[in-house]
Amino acid sequence: MRLPATFRRLILLTIACASVTFAQQGERLYKFHCAFCHGKGDDGMAANLVSPKLPHAPSDAALINIIKNGIPGSDMPASLGMTDAEIRQVATYVRALGRSAPQKVPGDATKGQAAFDKSCRSCHMAKGNGGVMGPDLSDIGLRRSPTNLKNSIVEPDANIVAGWSGVTVKTKDGKSVRGIKLNEDMLTIHVRTADGKIQSIAKSQTASIERAGAKSTMPSFKQLPAADLDNVIAYLFTLRGE
């Protein structure tokens, strides 16, 4: 059977449109449900998705699971109102993002490492070396976009990493213990102090517990010259858990 030429063209056009729509569907869903936090993938305020390795999503099943159920204890929400098929489309789109080239950041990572050693390492571990008063940053370049890193450095209070709230406990015998609250129940509070030691304080012995709440224990580095800031970000962006 020979179809009229215009009809054949129409069929080809329909097939082309359908496959384009399928590929674009994931992107469209992403823009609607995810871009608010993840931006284009590597310029949002949330995790960096332009990365071949996603710490929370080593497998496709894990990726689908976190899109569906969120990441408990973080700001990554469970998806509402997406069908399983749509979730799979978004997951495919996220994997495609992961294959795109990583963002080029301005700044010199070697100089950034020196600045990090001076201003940051006392609190932060990176590649097995550093302090414990802030989160380990050894894979921060996988987990955070450059925009997000900048914000963490300049405005630590804007988004405090879960589990890193500061506390000052005053005891009845006049001592003051300042640090990161590790855990707390009715009877005790555990605080990690700057020397890395964990203090367990009985509530019956406390005079007051002052919670930093929405204030980070990390000082803001707003005053860092722009070039130094770029260098530190370039260094952090190289930290990919290798």
CA distance 177 to 25: 54
Nearer to ligand HEC, 2 or 99 (CB): 99
In angstroms, what is the minimal distance from the CB of 7 to ligand HEC? 40
Residue span binding ligand HEC (CB under 6 A) among the ranges 17-25, 60-68, 103-111, 169-177: 60-68
Per CB under 6 A, 177 contacts ligand HEC: no
Asked whether the beta carbons of 38 and 49 are under 8 A apart, the reply is yes
**Shortest Cβ 173–ligand HEC spacing (Å):** 26
Tell me if 135 contacts ligand HEC by CB under 6 A.
yes
Q: Contact with ligand HEC (CB under 6 A): which of 143, 169, 179, 239?
A: 143
Residue 231 within binding range of ligand HEC, rule CB under 6 A? no
Residues in region 146-165 near ligand HEC by CB under 6 A: 149, 152-153, 156, 160-161, 164
* String of contacts with ligand HEC for each residue 201-230, x by CB under 6 A: ---------------xxx--x---------
Asked if 234 interacts with ligand HEC (CB under 6 A), we say no
Site for ligand HEC in 75-134 (CB under 6 A): 75-77, 79, 90, 94, 119-120, 122-124, 133-134
Binding segment for ligand HEC (CB under 6 A), chosen from 5-13, 31-39, 181-189, 196-204, is 31-39
CB of residue 147 to ligand HEC, shortest distance in Å: 11
- What distance separates the 2 farthest-apart alpha carbons in the chain? 97
Residue 24 beta carbon to ligand HEC: minimum distance, rounded to whole angstroms = 16
Residue 18 phi/psi, 5-degree rounding, is -65, -40
Position 191 contacts ligand HEC (CB under 6 A): no
What's the CA gap between 94 and 141, in Å, rounded?
Answer: 17
CA distance 111 to 225: 13
Is position 38 an interface residue for ligand HEC (rule: CB under 6 A)?
Answer: yes
For the CB of residue 122, give the shortest distance to ligand HEC in the complex, in Å.
Answer: 6
Residue 45 CB neighbours (<10 A): 17
